[in-house]
Amino acid sequence: MTKFALAIHGGCGVMARLDLDEEEWIAARRDLGRALEAGYAVLESGGRALDAVQAAVIVMEDSPHFNAGHGAALNENGVHELDASIMDGRSLAAGAVSAARHVRNPVKAARALLEQGDPLLLTGPAADRFAEDIGLAVEPQNYFTTGRRRAALAAMKAHVEAGTAARASESEKHGTVGAVALDSHGDLAAATSTGGYNNKPDGRVGDSPIIGAGTYARNGVCAVSGTGKGEYFIRHVAGHEVASRVDYLGESLETATRKVIMNDLKDVGAGLVAVDAQGAIAAPYNTDGMFRGWVNDKGEIFVASHAEVYRYPEDLQ
Ligand code: ASP
């Protein structure tokens, strides 16, 4: 059996250590562990990478600790507009939604579009209508709102008022969740889901639902899910750039991902997780921290927010 692999991120908009009390840090890391468990259970039973990344992202969308689904960022009007995508490296099939306001799990709507085949991306009210029509759970806007996101929006608006927006902390700005996997059949997949960044303009769409930018998977090469200032991921076609470096230049996943995050995207907060066709994992970031985690081939789960890496669940009791 080919070895399988799974890695996730919960965004590079990680707060300074002192911004959260220890209990909250532990709760967030625990949810990363639960997301990895959900994805790993799929892979371990011989399931598909596509199902594994979806399962992991759903856990993080449902968690209040990450900027996707419940707990997503608010835009300039105090509205949640959700972006998500998923890609199958075997067929290059993909699905995406952008600026959705009601679908509880945007990644499920993206997956349904992938299965349907055409169109690939639906936006705004049409994305929500599609989700509702196929029987996915939809929620009122307040389902997605948490106290922390309200505070982050108020803080961001205060920065804009004072002319200090550029100095806002990474956590005040953004976040995202994503997963990449290699399954025992040798197939790769990636999925990403986000509320975008706090105080984003009405109707703004980031990189997360853009195939090749925030999400990309190609069998035999790698799968990538990004987090950070989406406009730059789109300009650099970051996910596809990583795959191109690995495929055409023969760079290792480690080298290719570091070049994109540390060189191409050095002027903005950015990070990603990636897995290659051999199961190697990379998770570079250029911010203070990035919620992230992975499972090794013995089934051991590791989670992290800053430099320290914790074993799940042992270290989080
Ligand atoms: N990439 C997301 C976006 O630009 C935000 C983030 O990951 O911080 O919408």
Residue tagged active-site, from 123, 145, 176, 192: 176
Give the distance between the most distant pair of CA atoms in the chain. 58
Q: Is 269 in the pocket of ligand 1 (CB under 6 A)?
A: no
Kindly report the number of other CB atoms within 10 A of residue 93's CB atom. 19
Q: What digits encode the pLDDT tens for the residues 243-289?
A: 999 999 999 999 999 999 999 999 999 999 999 999 999 999 999 89
DSSP 211-223: BTTTEEEETTTEE
Question: For residues 85 and 213, is the Cβ–Cβ distance under 8 A?
Answer: no
Q: Hey, which of 208, 215, 231 would you mutate to test ligand 1's pocket, going by the most ligand atoms within 8 Å of its Cβ?
A: 208
What would the 3-class secondary structure string for 27-81 be? Answer: HHHHHHHHHHHHHHHHHHCCCCHHHHHHHHHHHHHHCCCCCCCCCCCCCCCCCCC
Concerning whether 145 is annotated as a catalytic residue, the answer is no
Q: Is 232 in the pocket of ligand 1 (CB under 6 A)?
A: no
Q: Hey, which of 197, 235, 273, 288 would you mutate to test ligand 1's pocket, going by the most ligand atoms within 8 Å of its Cβ?
A: 197
Q: Which atom of ligand 1 is nearest to the CA of 83?
A: 9
Q: Is 196 in the pocket of ligand 1 (CB under 6 A)?
A: yes
Domains identified in the chain, total number: 1
Orientation angle between helical segments 124-133 and 106-116, nearest 10 degrees:
80
Q: What is the pLDDT along the chain (317 residues), one digit of tens a residue?
A: 568 999 999 998 766 665 677 888 889 999 999 999 999 999 999 999 999 999 999 999 999 999 999 999 999 999 999 999 999 999 999 999 999 999 999 999 999 999 999 999 999 999 999 999 999 999 999 999 999 889 889 988 988 888 887 767 665 566 899 999 999 999 999 999 999 999 999 999 999 999 999 999 999 999 999 999 999 999 999 999 999 999 999 999 999 999 999 999 999 999 999 999 999 999 999 998 999 999 987 889 999 998 999 999 998 87
Q: Is 207 in the pocket of ligand 1 (CB under 6 A)?
A: yes
Q: What digits encode the pLDDT tens for the residues 19-45?
A: 677 888 889 999 999 999 999 999 999
Which CATH number is 103's domain given? Answer: 3.60.20.30
Question: Which structural domain, as residue segments, surrounds residue 149?
Answer: 5-316
Name the residue with the closest Cα to ligand 1, atom 9: 196
